[in-house]
Amino acid sequence: MKSPDLIIKRIINNKEYEVHIFYIKSARAIYFEFESGNLIFRLNPKHLNTSRFENFLVKSITKAIKNPRFINERELKINTKNQSFYCFGELISYDLTSNFIIFKVNNSFEYLKLSKDYSSKTIEEIIKNFLKEKLLIKFKFFAEEAVKMILQKTIDLTYKILKKKTSWASINIRTKTLNICEDLIYFSDEMIKYVAFHEICHLVHANHSKEFWNLLSKYFENWKEIKRKLNSYILK
């Protein structure tokens, strides 16, 4: 994501929040979203110092901070101050040397190379890229398992990890391309596996029909609970 045009701070319910402002000169409306724990407003610059914007800001943030997804997303951000991050359902602590980010996952030490002029942003990018590589491996493994169990054959699938706001994954039935939400790096293997099986079920039933959910239930009887946790950003 590009840097915001402006960062402001507002106090809502006695707590200070950082607000990211992006300008869209042609915009007539004011838009709000939260992404990765950030409060984001997109608007025409002429609306910035208006009661219309301030009222919309207060209303939007007040509603957002009650959302379990927003609360948990903020906690999931890589914490360079405390040197910790969430990795597939677990909180991991890391150490820094002049050359490496060092941490332990599944009883194995990982050493991620650092440049000499690294910054907090560099550390975040390196860790996130590492996690996305691991996510791709996990998702591919679970998707191939699902293909064998559900379709009882092998097919060639293409995988892409993307920033997705509306779903945890999607599949193009024609091209057999799986688009995976990068936020799955935070969740446990069981929940990643559920998403993989969910998408492969769409190769049998394209829509979320009764038949689709019946098929998915054969492999995940607790799919409703997993779905609830995913949407609330409960990691495992």
Q: Which of 66, 89, 104 is the last residue of a domain?
A: 66
Both 197 and 227 in one domain: the answer is yes
Both 33 and 60 in one domain: the answer is yes
Domain membership of residue 104 (yes or no) is yes
CA R_g for the chain: 20
Q: What is the pTM of this model?
A: 0.80
- 132, pLDDT greater than 90: yes
Span 157-174, mean pLDDT? 93
Strand order of the β-sheet with 6-12 is 6-12, 15-23, 38-43, 31-35
pLDDT at 1: 61
- 36, pLDDT greater than 80: no
Beta bridge partners of 85: 92
- C-beta separation of 146 from 196 below 8 A: yes
Both 107 and 138 in one domain: the answer is no
- 37, pLDDT greater than 90: no
Identify the domain containing residue 91 by its residue range. 78-127
Question: Residue 85 class from Cβ within 10 Å (0-12 exposed, 13-18 middle, 19+ buried)?
Answer: buried
Both 115 and 190 in one domain: the answer is no
pLDDT at 16: 92
- 11, pLDDT greater than 90: yes
Both 226 and 188 in one domain: the answer is yes
- Give CB contacts under 8 A, 24+ apart, made by 74-82: 74/37, 75/37, 76/36, 76/37, 76/183, 76/186, 76/233, 76/235, 77/36, 77/37, 78/123, 78/124, 78/127, 78/128, 80/120, 80/123, 80/124
Domain membership of residue 1 (yes or no) is no
pLDDT at 105: 93
Both 112 and 164 in one domain: the answer is no
Both 34 and 17 in one domain: the answer is yes
Q: Where are the beta strands (DSSP E) in the chain?
A: 6-12, 15-23, 31-35, 38-43, 84-87, 90-96, 100-105, 108-113, 158-162, 169-172, 177-181
Whose tokens are 């980010």? That residue is 101
- 172, pLDDT greater than 90: yes
Both 18 and 55 in one domain: the answer is yes
Q: Which two tokens stand for residue 119?
A: 């910054």
pLDDT tier for residue 163 given thresholds of 50, 70 and 90? confident
Both 135 and 216 in one domain: the answer is yes
Tell me which of 2-6, 26-30, 133-137 is least confident. Answer: 2-6
- Number of domains making up the chain: 3
d(CA 136, CA 160): 8
pLDDT tier for residue 90 given thresholds of 50, 70 and 90? very high
Helix axes 189-201, 223-231, angle to 10 degrees: 110
Both 94 and 186 in one domain: the answer is no
Both 139 and 122 in one domain: the answer is no
Both 112 and 137 in one domain: the answer is no
% pLDDT > 70, the chain? 100
- 174, pLDDT greater than 70: yes
Span 47-57, mean pLDDT? 96
pLDDT at 68: 75
3-state secondary structure of 64: helix
Domain membership of residue 119 (yes or no) is yes
Span 166-187, mean pLDDT? 95
pLDDT at 76: 85
CATH of the domain at 166: 3.30.2010.10
- 20, pLDDT greater than 70: yes
Domain membership of residue 236 (yes or no) is no
Domain membership of residue 194 (yes or no) is yes
